[in-house]
Amino acid sequence: MDYIDDTMIGDPEDQSSYWEMQTEPDNCAVMAEMGIIHQFGMDITQDEANYISAENGWYNPGSGTSMDDIGNMMDFCGISNHSCHGASVGDLARELQQGHGVIVGVNSDQLWEQGPLAEIWHAICKALGFDTPEFMPANHAITVTGIDVSDPANPMVIINDSGHPEGAAARYPMDRFIDAWDNSGFYYTATDHPLPDNDMESISNLDFTEWLGIGAGVGAGIGVFSVTGELTTAFETGVAVERTVTEFAGKVGEAVEIAANFAEDYFNNIDNIAQL
């Protein structure tokens, strides 16, 4: 199936229903992945997504997510994906035409700020050579959901942007989008397969322990995080619970070993007595 017609590449209308406003100032990449994960039929909450990403070092509260770590949450959910640097609008169009979910890095100031003063500031930065990934790096992740070519002279890029209150199916002129996207080195991450339209199932069906490296502490940690919103407290709770379980298991193991040694000594003594 091609997600394209005479005027639209992609399916922004359907994807807009999966937009959600981010609750943290720097979890935009987590939210971009979460929106795609939902479309693949898995119901993961923002709290759970933040916790899992932070616990694994993909999301660092206070600084966000590195582009190199975008896609790890999708890997966690079994959604294969690929990343590209130095891409083109044509590359994005091909991904959208195939129905893939697409996340890009942008400089939010260049995307959001409008008006004469903003235009002057951007022009000065360009003239001085500061409008580069080195001086003005990408600081935001969004999902590209479509390209509207109904007016070939003024194509529009349609995005889901968790950092903006009107970010569901938000539309931007192609030149402004490219200007903001350029500051990520024209980076994107896309799914390998088309976005299905499934009913969401609980993420409890997934095996957290394989990725988190902890067992019983996972549920405790997420529970604390969902109530307090404090990752540090959640981590400490999860680790404490896991440590308690581990220590208990260790003591049980020690007890079993002691009992086994006692039984072995006992039966050896029986054998020795029988031989007398």
For each of the chain's 276 residues, which pLDDT tens digit applies? 556 567 899 999 999 999 999 999 999 999 999 999 999 999 999 999 999 999 999 999 999 999 999 999 999 999 999 999 999 999 999 999 999 999 999 999 889 877 777 677 777 877 777 777 777 789 999 999 999 999 988 999 999 999 999 999 999 999 999 999 999 999 999 999 999 964 444 344 444 344 334 444 455 555 555 555 555 565 556 545 545 544 544 554 555 465 556 555 655 655 554 555
**Residue 205 included in any domain:** no
* pLDDT value at residue 132: 75
Residue type, 147: I
Mark whether 231 and 120 lie in a shared domain.
Answer: no
Instruction: Give yes or no: residues 222 and 194 share one domain.
Output: no
Among candidates 206, 197, 200, which has minimal Cα distance to 41?
A: 200
Together in a domain, 187 and 224: no
Q: Does 206 fall in a domain?
A: no
Give pTM, 2 decimals.
0.72
Dihedral, CA atoms, 223, 16, 105, 75, nearest 10 degrees?
A: 50
Q: What pLDDT does 125 receive?
A: 78
Cα 210 from chain centroid?
17
Residue 239 belongs to a domain: yes
What total number of domains does the chain contain? 2
Q: Are residues 240 and 113 in the same domain?
A: no
Q: Do 132 and 167 belong to one domain?
A: yes
Q: Where does a domain end: 166, 199, 232? A: 199
Residue 74: per-residue pLDDT = 97
How far, in Å, CA of 161 to CA of 169, rounded?
A: 8
178 found inside a domain: yes
What tokens does 99 get?
């129905």
Encoding tokens for residue 79? Answer: 């959604």
> Does 20 share its domain with 143?
yes
Tell me: do 154 and 236 sit in the same domain: no
Q: Decide: 181 and 209 in contact? Cβ < 8 Å.
A: no
| Beta bridge pairs of residue 65 | 59
List the domain range (segments joined by +) for residue 261. 217-275
DSSP per-residue codes, 37-79: HHHTTEE--HHHHHHHHHHTTSEETTTEE-GGGTTHHHHHTT-
